[in-house]
Structure 1
């Protein structure tokens, strides 16, 4: 092993004793001070884009579902709303991780935020995966109940299930709150886990892989497989209908996106656990993997918060129509406001410009009789109207201002 890598290992004291939270933007224990500047810039940019798209997409989903108050809310929409909340919260945490990456993995936010930010990140991840799993089971049960005249889930039950899943996600943050802390490593302040036992962190990471990927992926895959088989069993005239094909395509996209986004990150995580348990050596391949590959797999995993609104909402006709109506109403309000503003601008300009003309100060002389007075007033009025028309034509009207 080269001296540079040995120095890196010594500076970090114990690679696995000082690991940062899985799912954050970095792992200082694996990323040396000479890591690529370009890589850090790329990760920061990716996190910024994911944050922006995640906030806009999930915010739109929450608005569209919330705007349906007064209507009968489909059960699946309750889970989708909870999923959007989880992804929205997750996106809010990304600026902290982006800042940490930009600062070469130094934690600048203090001890309290070192516990708060990772804890909220973990809550979002567990809630996200749990709700995705619940949605897959619900979709199968809903269709099976409709075809076989079985009992269906009520909206109140769906709400209580959502609350229970969030409670479980909160429970999963207990180790983070207890063992996450700002530590000084080689004169650098970093936000890291410090478990009291040697294998505590490895067990914690293995637990996370099992309960946020292996088990959910098995349940999601099984539920959608049963759903596809049910659709095939009850297909009309031996052919899939257009709706069935759409459902099939959506299911494939859902399962594929979940697997592609999270699988690489969990492979690296499991590799780290094996090294922690001394089943694999700490070598150059491991060093390279966690220096350069792990940050990229983390970016890919975080990108799932942008994909969920598209996969679970915007691909559905009802949400697309609601989104079109929302944008149409918004454009109508903006257009109305803009027209109103430009009309006011036109009126103000006319009222200011007209009195500036010397010819507007027409003197009304006393008349000797009623007839002359009437004739004179009529003539002055026509003169005013002629000059007013000329002035208005010279000024930009509302259409020109637009």
Structure 2
């Protein structure tokens, strides 16, 4: 609505580039919300809303699964990296909860229908989740290096208890960086339209806020992440870790570069536009048609790309790890076994009628000869074994067994 509001305020489709817009003059911005300018382009607004809803659904499902898998490992010793993974999933889960609000706002041409209290709450939770996400990602990169290097330098070992205290400190730091958002977030009536914006006293305040966002949430974390993973790769090569397993070493290298690349690709375009806007606030560069086009049509797409990072994190940081993939497979198998155990008997009978029949000999105890029944969780669903006593005498004698009584057929849920 920011650029769209500009056009309506000036009575034209384009703003008056000789003067600052009313929003800019009042020191207001929707940049740090999910609200982004679309200048009344209906198709772009619907696309953005759809992306938010998809990211919300995938983010809620993926991050809740990650938190469940971490909590399900209670029998195993807690590790520092798992503490940070749980915190990261929690931050992304909270972030995904805010996306339906931004989807509705975008679909309504950036009109905020939820009131001032929800504007302040949703904006605060959005920015808090972003800062917590970045801080935890950065700490995880340092933790991965320390966990590997501790094999040579035990002093670098990070315990789970210390990791919990560090994670709590990171959330407090993220909350501190979010305080300006909580203070200046408000619903403002602009040209008869209710907007959820950040209303600062002056443009310079808004410029400082944007510079803080770029430095604290991108430049410094990216430098630390890149340095940590370069040190990790150097350590692995220097000490020839996994030297006898080239495939494992290549997997580690690929996962590291995937972490760095996904973070950079998702956030770099958004912070470029944000920094450009900060330079405009400081009057270092003029407000011109190029910035208007970039901020109107490109910035929405960069915001969607940045928000999609909450979907990538569960895949990049968790599901690529073998222990999490194994835990997910075990959880799915257990769930499938529980569901199948509650199947009605009519389903079992229907399954028996349509399943191939196998005739097997019985021993003296009435058990099939040469057949081992699998465990309940892994029994086949497609084959029903029918045991019959009709054996020829020579077959029974050859087997050294005496045919037993007829055994009834049973479906998997009864085994």
Using structure 2 for the length normalisation, give the TM-score. 0.78
* 1:20 alignment partner in structure 2: 30
* 2:327 alignment partner in structure 1: 322
CA distance in 2, matches of 1:221, 1:236: 20
CA distance in 1, matches of 2:325, 2:103: 32
* 1:264 alignment partner in structure 2: 269
Whether contact under 8 Å (1:51, 1:92) holds in the other structure is yes
* 2:178 alignment partner in structure 1: 173
Cα separation, partners in 2 of 1:237 and 1:76, compared to 1, 3 Å: closer
CA distance in 1, matches of 2:294, 2:130: 23
* 1:235 alignment partner in structure 2: 240
Partner secondary structure for residue 282 of structure 1: coil
Cα separation, partners in 2 of 1:160 and 1:236, compared to 1, 3 Å: closer
CA distance in 2, matches of 1:110, 1:320: 43
Whether contact under 8 Å (2:95, 2:125) holds in the other structure is yes
Whether contact under 8 Å (2:318, 2:324) holds in the other structure is yes
* 1:367 alignment partner in structure 2: none
CA distance in 1, matches of 2:331, 2:342: 16
Partner secondary structure for residue 194 of structure 2: strand
CA distance in 2, matches of 1:217, 1:185: 37
1:149 CA drift (Å): 3.8
CA distance in 1, matches of 2:279, 2:344: 66
* 2:96 alignment partner in structure 1: 91
* 1:391 alignment partner in structure 2: none
Alignment of 1:76-225 (within 5 A): 76-225=81-230
290, 296, 300: which is aligned to 1:295? Answer: 300
Runs of 4+ with >6 A deviation: 8-11, 237-240
Higher helix share: 1
Using structure 1 for the length normalisation, give the TM-score. 0.80
Whether contact under 8 Å (1:25, 1:97) holds in the other structure is yes
CA distance in 2, matches of 1:61, 1:125: 18
RMSD of the TM alignment (CA)?
2.6
CA distance in 2, matches of 1:206, 1:338: 59
CA distance in 1, matches of 2:193, 2:241: 66
The number of equivalent residue pairs is 344
1:25 CA drift (Å): 2.3
1:198 CA drift (Å): 2.9
1:196 CA drift (Å): 1.5
1:59 CA drift (Å): 0.5
Whether contact under 8 Å (2:38, 2:300) holds in the other structure is no
Partner secondary structure for residue 172 of structure 1: helix
* 2:279 alignment partner in structure 1: 274
Cα separation, partners in 2 of 1:300 and 1:151, compared to 1, 3 Å: closer
Whether contact under 8 Å (2:131, 2:174) holds in the other structure is yes
1:240 CA drift (Å): 6.2
309, 320, 324: which is aligned to 2:314? Answer: 309
Whether contact under 8 Å (2:17, 2:289) holds in the other structure is no
Alignment of 1:8-47 (within 5 A): 13-15=22-24, 17-22=27-32, 24-27=33-36, 30-32=37-39, 35-47=40-52
Q: Please say if 1:70 is aligned against 2:75.
A: yes
Work out which structure has the larger RCO, using CA pairs closer than 8 Å and 6 or more positions apart in sequence: 1
Pair member with larger Rg: 1
Q: Deviations over 1:177-212 (max 9, x none)?
A: 111100000100001111123310110011010000
Partner secondary structure for residue 146 of structure 1: coil
9, 15, 19: which is aligned to 1:6? Answer: 15
CA distance in 2, matches of 1:278, 1:123: 29
* 2:254 alignment partner in structure 1: 249
CA distance in 2, matches of 1:328, 1:177: 45
CA distance in 2, matches of 1:341, 1:294: 57
Partner secondary structure for residue 94 of structure 1: helix
1:287 CA drift (Å): 1.1
